[in-house]
Amino acid sequence: MGAEAGARQPRVPGRFWARNAGGAGACSQPGRAAERRRALSAGSVGRLGNGRKLGRSSGGRMLSPERLSLPGPEYLAQRHVLTYMEDAVSQLLENREDISQYGIARFFTEYFNSVRQGTHILFREFSFVQATPHNRASFLRTFWRCFRTVGKNGDLLTAQEYHCLLQLLCPDFPMELTQKAARIVLMDDAMDCLMSFSDFLFAFQIQFYYSEFLESVAAIYQDLLAGKNPNTVIVPTSSSGQHRQRQPPNDCSPLDGVEASLFYQCLESLCDRSKYSCPPSALVKEMLSSAQRLTFYGFLMALAKDQGINRALGALPDKGDLFLDPAMDQELEKLVARVSGISISGPTSSSGDAASLPVRNSPRINSPWKPLHHRRKMDAESEGSNEETDSSEN
């Protein structure tokens, strides 16, 4: 009976049958799923049942070793996958009328391609732009690519003018972050002073990407200036539970700063327990090794100028390559060629007929789905204006 029952099983794809029928005997390819699970849980590099090697994606790219070593929930949390899934579903529901024309699968494909390319943060609200480290790095890279010609031309701008550029990419970007970045460069409250693009960009990178870390560093610095050591030890006694400082209080002027070695010990402890992004402690230690004392803004300026920390963050190129972007230069040259071609051919036409103009194929730019809602509003307004024009003509 068992053999006959097995023979009557419908011939369906093994993946579907394993998912829907259930049971070890129902799977048309027994052992493949179990083999895959054992290999993934062990984190080893072997061969799966379909002949593909573990450790490579279907496109041939090597997978990160931590993807195979970390448990699934921990890896998803580390990469903020749920954040992007929630945002994708939210946009899907908000723009379901537009998305229904070409399908949900295509929407998710284009959404996560946009996340991978870093264009998903364009014109989004600040709460989303700062939501994940990848979003912050993508915003920094986009700001650099869009406005690097400011530095290439040697223009100097004020903090307010740089803030206007930031708001072109993120309309509700807070002025406070721009001012904090400017103070790293200017070392004072003179917000109307001019700054070069490179100085502001690297200072802004540190302030924006490590904003939570810098807030904790500022509190540590103030404690050290006041003669308190943030690393305290609770010494239990029979009479009271007073805190005993590891180091005696230091009487020093704010202009002199704090002791660099003690400051680094506090930073190292902060990086070990912080859940936010922190610069690599080894690079910070190397940066502070030659200093005896330092001020808070001196520390921030050192972070902004350190190319090792810039490379570890991975959003911007080295300072020497800051104005080099061959891919963007090619796109700009193509755009200029199209515009110049239209301007040259326009006056030579004998009539004003639009059909005589050359056809211009605008490059398709990957953009986030958020602006779809605004485009829909604009379309409705334009349709209304056309109706008014038609009625006035009649």
Q: Which of 113-122, 194-203, 211-220, 244-253 has the lowest mean pLDDT?
A: 244-253
CA distances from 248 to 206, 244, 364 (A): 32, 9, 64
CB–CB of 214/181 below 8 Å? no
How far, in Å, CA of 298 to CA of 24, rounded?
A: 65
Amino acid identity for residue 197 in this structure = F
- pLDDT over 70 at 11, yes or no: no
What was the pLDDT predicted at 392?
Answer: 43
What was the pLDDT predicted at 391?
Answer: 43
CB–CB of 47/53 below 8 Å? yes
- pLDDT over 90 at 49, yes or no: no
Q: Which two tokens stand for residue 293?
A: 């004392």
- pLDDT over 50 at 228, yes or no: yes
Cβ neighbours of residue 336 closer than 8 Å, sequence gap 6 or more? none
Cβ neighbours of residue 187 closer than 8 Å, sequence gap 6 or more? 297, 301
What was the pLDDT predicted at 221?
Answer: 95
Q: Which of 141-145, 168-172, 303-307, 381-385 has the lowest mean pLDDT?
A: 381-385
Averaged over 283-288, what is the pLDDT? 93
- 69-88: per-residue pLDDT in tens? 778 888 888 889 999 999 99
* The three-state (H, E, C) secondary structure of the chain, written as one string: CHHHHHHCCCCCCHHHHHHHCCCCCCCCCCCHHHHHHHHHHHCCCCECCCCCECCECCCCCECCHHHHHCCHHHHHHHCCHHHHHHHHHHHHHHCHHHHCCCCHHHHHHHHHHHHHHCCCCCCCCHHHHCCCHHHHHHHHHHHHHHHHHHHHCCCEECHHHHHHHHHHHCCCCCHHHHHHHHHHHHCCCCCCCCEEHHHHHHHHHHHHHCHHHHHHHHHHHHHHHCCCCCCEEECCCCCCCCEEECCCCCCCCCCCCEEHHHHHHHHHHHHHHCCCCCCCHHHHHHHHCCCCEECHHHHHHHHHHCHHHHHHHCCCCCHHHCCCCHHHHHHHHHHHHHHHHHHHHHHHCCCCCHHHCCCCCCCCCCCCCCHHHHHHHHHHHHHHHHHHHHHHHC
What was the pLDDT predicted at 18?
Answer: 37
Averaged over 6-11, what is the pLDDT? 41
- 107-126: per-residue pLDDT in tens? 999 999 999 999 999 999 99
Sign of the dihedral defined by the CA atoms of residues 249, 254, 259, 263, in that order = positive
Cβ neighbours of residue 163 closer than 8 Å, sequence gap 6 or more? 173, 175, 178
How far, in Å, CA of 17 to CA of 60, rounded?
A: 28
What was the pLDDT predicted at 99?
Answer: 87
- 144-167: per-residue pLDDT in tens? 999 998 888 889 999 999 999 999
- 326-341: per-residue pLDDT in tens? 877 787 778 778 887 7
- pLDDT over 70 at 377, yes or no: no
How far, in Å, CA of 214 to CA of 187, rounded?
A: 16
Averaged over 39-54, what is the pLDDT? 39
How far, in Å, CA of 8 to CA of 20, rounded?
A: 17
What was the pLDDT predicted at 69?
Answer: 78
Averaged over 174-178, what is the pLDDT? 96
Q: What is the dihedral of CA 20, 26, 30, 33, to 10 degrees?
A: 20
Percent of residues, the chain, with pLDDT higher than 90: 45
Residue with the two structure tokens 């005696």: 248
* The most confident of 219-228, 253-262, 309-318, 340-349, by mean pLDDT: 309-318
Amino acid identity for residue 251 in this structure = D
How far, in Å, CA of 325 to CA of 30, rounded?
A: 52
What was the pLDDT predicted at 238?
Answer: 40
Higher pLDDT, 231 or 372: 231
Q: Is this structure's pTM higher than 0.85? A: no
What was the pLDDT predicted at 231?
Answer: 61
What was the pLDDT predicted at 344?
Answer: 55
Q: Which two tokens stand for residue 161?
A: 């003018």
How far, in Å, CA of 26 to CA of 17, rounded?
A: 7
Averaged over 2-31, what is the pLDDT? 40
Higher pLDDT, 274 or 377: 274
CB–CB of 306/283 below 8 Å? yes
- Residue 276, by phi and psi: left (phi above 0), alpha (psi -120 to 50) or beta? beta
Return the bridge partners of 211, or none.
none
Which among 81, 166, 181, 160 is positioned nearest to 126, based on CA atoms? 166
What was the pLDDT predicted at 66?
Answer: 62
Amino acid identity for residue 105 in this structure = A
